[in-house]
Amino acid sequence: MFVALVLGSPSRASSEAVKLVPQVSRVGGFAMVASDGRYAIRSQDMQTYGLWDHQSGIYLGDRAYPVGTRRDISISPDGRYIAYDAVKEIIIEDLDTGKLRRIGPMANEVTALWFSRDGSRVFTTHGKVRVITMNSSDAEAYGNARGPDHAVSAWDFATGKRVSELAYNPADFTSSRPFVNGASPDELYTSTRLEIRRHDTTNAKRVERIVIPKELHGGPNTQTDLVVSADGKRAVTRHVKSLEAKIEIVMAYWDWTQRKVTSTVQVLAPTNYQMPEQFGDDLAISPDGSHVIIRGRRTNIRLYRFGESTPVKELPNHHDVLAFTKDGKHVVVGTSLRSASTGELVIPELQGTPITSSRVAMHGSMVFVARDKSLSAWDLQTLERRWTRTEGVSDGVPMSLTVSPDGAKLTALALKTRRVHIYDAVTGAVISDQPPIERPYWSGVDEESRDRKWAVRIASGAQLAELRALDTGAVVRTVKLAGPEWLGKTLLWTAHGFISVTNGTLQFWNVSSDKPIATHVVDKPPRHAEHFGTQMAVSQDGNTVAISTGDVRAGRGDIILMLFDARTGAQLRSSTLPALGWVSDLVVADDRKWALVDVAGTPVAINLERAASVRLIEDRDQWVIADAGGIFTASAGGGRLLAAVRGRTGFLIEQLALRNNDPGKLMRALGTGSEEQRKYYDHAYKERLRRAGIAAAAVGDMFESIPEVQFAGVKQEGDHADIQLQLDAPRGLSRYHIDVNGVPVFGSGGKPATGKSQRITERIQLGRGTNRVELRVVDAAGIEGLRPVRLLDTERAGTSDLYFLGFGISDYANPAFKLEYARKDVLDIAAALQHASPEFARVHTRVYVDAAVTPLQIRAAKEFVAAAGVDDLVVVMIAGHGVHANDSAARYYFVTHATDVGRLAETAAPFEDIESLLDGITSRRKLFLMDTCESGERDPGEEAAAVSRAGSRGLKARTTRGLKVVGEAKPASRRFVLERDNFLFNGILRRSGAVVFSSSRGSELSYEAQELGNGVFTQAVLETLIDKTSDLDGNGITIAELRTRVAKRVAEYTNGAQNPTIERDNLGAVIAFPVLTDAQAITDRATAPLADYAIATGTGTATSTAISAPVATRTVRSQRGCGCHTGSSTSSVALAAFVAAWLLKRRRGRSLPREHDRPASLG
């Protein structure tokens, strides 16, 4: 659960504040989607629900029910209203205005509610809660109750008046949904195993019975579900047939105008079942009846064309919402959006991995977080997540997580298996896995003192605590507590005695007295436990006690955090944390500076001295650290874990990031980070503002007078669309953009706009499939408005071309810069991609090597990729040296053939020049591969030691000693400069819309191997592209699959010392490569002869003729390291040792390792 962070208010039409909302949510109860398919809701608990916007792909946040608690919740077809029950009335909440109104009161409690298809009516059921039991008789399952206490009521939504009431007997129904909407708001259907009944809700009577064919009846416990298309022409029934401990699922297609079954499909063959089964809202039909999506027990979710027996697509069965959008073009599956015709993803899971509660631990500035199947470490000093691991982590949130006094080891007690797992706190590696412990965890268990002399427990059924000597086992003292024990921890030992928290009262005890030495009322009595929660913790040294307490309902009060001296019991501090939510775990540091709480699955680190706090948000390999004001730092892909939200509309984080992605400011607020690091981040932050054309002084109010852009109209004709934009800016308009699938159609500069209001029409070309169209507007102050989104689909078929442009330098004008395989890297990738047909109609290739790579030639090469079409794939690759300047900006340059390190700006190519090759071209699919070594931020002593270690073992490091940059005096080693895996360095301005895949993280070594004949990164890319197993789902090797496989192979080759990263610009681009099985010879050749598409001298015109790659015998030679990044001495020694052993083994006659026999690592 998260409280949205208010960032400011927009101008003009809306007075709602812009909020920053984390894109993870708690695991909740049932979920449902509006009939237009745009909005979905999920119940979180009895006080909160979550809201999603499928059009933008954004989670809009947790929301609290304004009054009471609820059993059921529904969303209106247009997504504007939420209806939920408040016992004997319905509350209608307007999500746009926040206003509430009531329908009722009612004579009986509401058991279920839903909207009619058009939203004009709300239906409610009243009576006993129905329970489905598959292996019992109807009478046992549903009871025999009849009469007005079981009724369905129709209410007019506009007036709140009852339209009708229809009595029913729940024993008559065998559907998971007792009532199903028909094509008109008057119609409701019910179903039994024998027949379907149509009811007229206006006149409160049954008007039709439709007989179900006998072959679909099954046994007496058969469950029948029905859905009807919006036009009333087609219907589908699902029959869950149970007989003699077996279950079978059959789907029937109906011509609903004739009330006739046209065909059937067996979804699940007869299967044994062991327990009662219940099937929920897992059957849906598109509005025009053309497609059906269904889920069956132990089967995948299946998408069918109406009337067909073979599914179009099968999906994993772990989603709880299936629904089609109003236009029928998309289907909502869980919280993802898919194409209704193909089942392919349009918008992935909105919430990522749902969060559960976690356990937290702390040592110094290090924070450790254990979740279900994951463990991570965070550094509050540098504000980054250091590592995360999933292997070797037990299922389920652990009972406890502790760190050793020296901070070296981490111990987790698994909840499900009760095993003890011990990890290296520095690396996350598993140290040991111990057998399950027998000691129980809950009440009645002895709580042992730290010195193992005493134990205390709550006396069974009493308000007493018994103190027992462990050496004799005798009870030496009984003390009376303030009240009965609460659920969870009631007693804890300190270094000076023990504490108890009962009946909202904290008491301090020592072993020599039966009277408390101090007593404090810290919470309300247990009768308020549904709203209030208390957590207690003792610091690792036993000298500090921490208590958190408060109202846990979302937005309903503050969390109070109190610190006490464990020796005297005196209160030291009380801090208020605004409306955080349920605190499930608590840790306090020995120095009393930091506290750590887990709030509904999200750790919050609190600097008690500065009254500042940050949330630690993570999902798999991405992370975010954000404070209460929305200032954040994040990993390169961490932006997807945050979104801007205004009312019911979600926006991507980029424009908010211009103001709020400020690591230096966050460090100052928390008192962390070195001054050099803060200044570096400050410069990067200001540089991004400069590139956006925003004055630093304007940042503070950038959301107070925000410009606004809207879709005033959209007219689509085939693969073109006329987009009408309404632009408004109180400070005056500057420019506007249209982005399609994350790519700026008009280039990074956009198009100019004038005045304060304009309506403009632009005609754009659409690509094949789904096009995610975003509008952007920038005002005269450089402030960008929030970006509205529309999804436009095309049915155009056809193939694409592939363009590859490469720059590789091995031989430099300065011989000190010489490299071995950079030239071969780009030639090999070019040769491999020549085998990408017939998936690509044509493959166009151009490669510049060695002397041909000049700043002028790089800029001129844009004419080659500019020929690419909207659906074509463009790949640009650079291989060679890279260097950071020594100035405060630490600007990054690609070292060209004749670079003079004393004149980088004149003789090298700035990164922006390389990236500009992809800016403004027509292609919407662009990939930038960087197999370069960064230089200029290495400690000289460390570099010399690394070179010496490598040389002593027959290894030649790719040294950077020849690349010392001339200029101003270089500051002390700034390793943080190389850590570019941070959202601060992303191209949030949508410069080119390209995906950038780098060979390693900035602070790591990048390796090349003579044994491989390539850079390790390039070799891993080649191996991935030729391996059929890289394509996991048969739709080509996607960027996600490429990244996963390449990262795994590179880590294996280097023993984790090198980790490729995807960063910058368009992280969500849809790019896929065919499996290049015919390119096997490319990965095996020892040399790469110049082909006719290569330019080596800087003159001449390259062609794009396909070639047959020559096969060469590989020569077994020594391993080489590419040491352009700084690595630890331990890593270098380990790498050298492993390589030596591997080479010795290789010289005994083994061939180059393949999937089955490659070395586990090279480091």
Mean model confidence pLDDT for the chain: 78
- 144 φψ region: left (φ > 0), alpha (ψ -120 to 50), beta (else): alpha
Q: Lowest-confidence range among 847-861, 880-894, 980-994, 1072-1086? A: 980-994
To the nearest whole percent, how much of the chain has pLDDT over 70? 75
Is the confidence at residue 1137, as pLDDT, over 80? no
pLDDT in tens, 762-783: 999 999 888 889 999 988 888 8
- pLDDT value of position 952: 41
The answer to whether 786 touches 755, Cβ cutoff 8 Å, is no
pLDDT in tens, 912-966: 899 889 988 999 999 999 988 653 334 444 444 444 443 443 333 344 444 554 4
CA angle 109, 110, 114 (to 5 degrees): 170
Is the confidence at residue 1074, as pLDDT, over 80? yes
- pLDDT value of position 1066: 67
Is the confidence at residue 1088, as pLDDT, over 50? yes
Q: Where are the beta strands (DSSP E) in 809-871?
A: 840-849
Is the confidence at residue 529, as pLDDT, over 80? no
Grouping H, G, I as helix, E, B as strand and the rest as coil, residue 251 is: strand
Q: Lowest-confidence range among 103-112, 634-643, 832-841, 1148-1157? A: 1148-1157
Q: Predicted confidence band at 1157 (pLDDT cuts at 50, 70, 90)?
A: very low
Is the confidence at residue 441, as pLDDT, over 50? no
What is the gyration radius of the CA atoms in the chain, in angstroms?
32
Residue 65 vs residue 669, higher pLDDT: 669
Tokens representing residue 417 in the block: 């298996």
The answer to whether 784 touches 658, Cβ cutoff 8 Å, is yes
Nearest Cα to 445, choosing from 459, 461, 464, 462? 459
Range with the largest mean pLDDT of 93-107, 138-152, 290-304, 698-712: 93-107
Average pLDDT over residues 583-591: 89
* Sign of torsion over alpha carbons 1064, 1067, 1073, 1076: positive
Give kind and range of the element (H or E) at residue 858. Answer: helix 855-860
Q: Predicted confidence band at 178 (pLDDT cuts at 50, 70, 90)?
A: low
Residue ranges of the alpha helices (H) in 642-711? 654-660, 663-670, 675-692
- pLDDT value of position 966: 47
Is the confidence at residue 1105, as pLDDT, over 70? no
Q: 3-class secondary structure for 949-998?
A: HHHHCCCCECCCHHHCCCCCCCCCCCHHHHCCCCHHHCCCCCCCCCEEEE
Q: Predicted confidence band at 587 (pLDDT cuts at 50, 70, 90)?
A: very high
Residue ranges of the alpha helices (H) in 458-500? none
Query: Does this model's pTM top 0.75?
Result: no
Q: Predicted confidence band at 1130 (pLDDT cuts at 50, 70, 90)?
A: very low
- pLDDT value of position 125: 86
Q: Predicted confidence band at 967 (pLDDT cuts at 50, 70, 90)?
A: very low
Sheet holding 39-43, edge to edge: 31-33, 39-43, 48-53, 58-64
Q: Following DSSP, what letter does each residue of 616-641 receive, concatenated?
A: EEEETTEEEEEETTS-EEE-TTGGGG
Range with the largest mean pLDDT of 70-74, 216-220, 592-596: 592-596
- pLDDT value of position 1008: 79
CB atoms within 10 A of CB 379: 15
Q: Following DSSP, what letter does each residue of 883-920 receive, concatenated?
A: EE-SSTT--EEE--TT--GGGHHHHSEEHHHHHGGGTT
The answer to whether 669 touches 84, Cβ cutoff 8 Å, is no
Give the separation between CA 508 and CA 567, rounded to whole angstroms: 9
- Give, as one character, the DSSP assignment of residue 1121: B
- pLDDT value of position 442: 37
Q: Predicted confidence band at 9 (pLDDT cuts at 50, 70, 90)?
A: very low
Is the confidence at residue 576, as pLDDT, over 50? yes
- pLDDT value of position 655: 63
Residue 186 vs residue 145, higher pLDDT: 186
Average pLDDT over residues 193-200: 90
Give the separation between CA 601 and CA 578, rounded to whole angstroms: 17
3-state helix, strand, coil in the chain (%, to 5): 15, 40, 45
Give the separation between CA 736 and CA 760, rounded to whole angstroms: 10
Q: Lowest-confidence range among 439-443, 542-546, 968-972? A: 439-443
Is the confidence at residue 853, as pLDDT, over 90? yes
Question: For residue 952, what are the contacts with CB-CB under 8 A and spacing of at least 6?
Answer: 1136
Grouping H, G, I as helix, E, B as strand and the rest as coil, residue 31 is: strand
Is the confidence at residue 376, as pLDDT, over 70? yes
- pLDDT value of position 1139: 42
- pLDDT value of position 649: 80
Give kind and range of the element (H or E) at residue 764. Answer: strand 757-765
Grouping H, G, I as helix, E, B as strand and the rest as coil, residue 1156 is: coil
Q: Lowest-confidence range among 316-320, 563-567, 967-971? A: 967-971
Give the separation between CA 241 and CA 835, rounded to whole angstroms: 51
Phi, psi of 664 (to 5 degrees): -60, -45
Residue 958 vs residue 575, higher pLDDT: 575
CA angle 1157, 1162, 1163 (to 5 degrees): 145
Is the confidence at residue 741, as pLDDT, over 70? yes
Which amino acid would we find at residue 84?
Y
The half-sphere exposure of 1138 on its side-chain side, counting CA atoms within 13 A, is: 20
Range with the largest mean pLDDT of 373-377, 568-572, 631-635, 675-679: 568-572
Tokens representing residue 824 in the block: 């071969």
Is the confidence at residue 14, as pLDDT, over 70? no
Tokens representing residue 1008 in the block: 């090349």
Q: Predicted confidence band at 899 (pLDDT cuts at 50, 70, 90)?
A: very high
Q: Following DSSP, what letter does each residue of 136-180 receive, concatenated?
A: S-HHHHH----STTSEEEEEETTT--EEEEEE--GGG--SSSS-E
Burial class (CB within 10 angstroms; exposed 0-12, middle 13-18, buried 19+) of 1084: middle
> In terms of residues, how long is the chain?
1163
Nearest Cα to 923, choosing from 1102, 747, 1061? 747
- pLDDT value of position 279: 44
The CB-based long-range contact list for 1030-1039 (8 Å cut-off, 24+ gap) reads 1030/1075, 1031/1075, 1035/344, 1035/1072, 1036/839, 1036/1072, 1036/1073, 1036/1074, 1036/1075, 1037/1072, 1037/1073, 1037/1074, 1037/1075, 1038/1070, 1038/1071, 1038/1072, 1039/927, 1039/995, 1039/997, 1039/1069, 1039/1071, 1039/1072
Phi, psi of 1019 (to 5 degrees): -60, -40
Give the separation between CA 132 and CA 461, rounded to whole angstroms: 37
Q: Predicted confidence band at 976 (pLDDT cuts at 50, 70, 90)?
A: low
The strand pair at 800-808 and 873-884 is best described as parallel
Give the separation between CA 699 and CA 11, rounded to whole angstroms: 16
Q: Lowest-confidence range among 92-101, 683-692, 1126-1135? A: 1126-1135
- Give, as one character, the DSSP assignment of residue 671: T
- pLDDT value of position 320: 61
Is the confidence at residue 567, as pLDDT, over 80? yes
pLDDT in tens, 486-514: 555 689 999 999 999 888 889 999 999 98
Q: Predicted confidence band at 1110 (pLDDT cuts at 50, 70, 90)?
A: very low
The answer to whether 326 touches 771, Cβ cutoff 8 Å, is no
Adjacent-strand bridge partners of 759: 726
Give the separation between CA 1131 and CA 166, rounded to whole angstroms: 75
Q: Peptide bond before 855: cis, by omega within 30 degrees of 0?
A: no
Average pLDDT over residues 224-253: 89
Residue 338 vs residue 722, higher pLDDT: 722
Is the confidence at residue 1022, as pLDDT, over 70? yes
- How far is residue 711 from each of residues 337, 714, 793, 1075, 1132, measured CA to CA in Å? 21, 7, 17, 40, 56
Average pLDDT over residues 50-73: 74
The answer to whether 1124 touches 884, Cβ cutoff 8 Å, is no
Whole-angstrom distance between the N-terminal and C-terminal Cα of the chain? 42
The answer to whether 708 touches 730, Cβ cutoff 8 Å, is no
Q: How remote is the C-alpha of 1095 from its chain's centroid?
A: 43
Q: Could you identify the residue written with the tokens 């990044």? A: 1125
CA angle 350, 355, 361 (to 5 degrees): 140
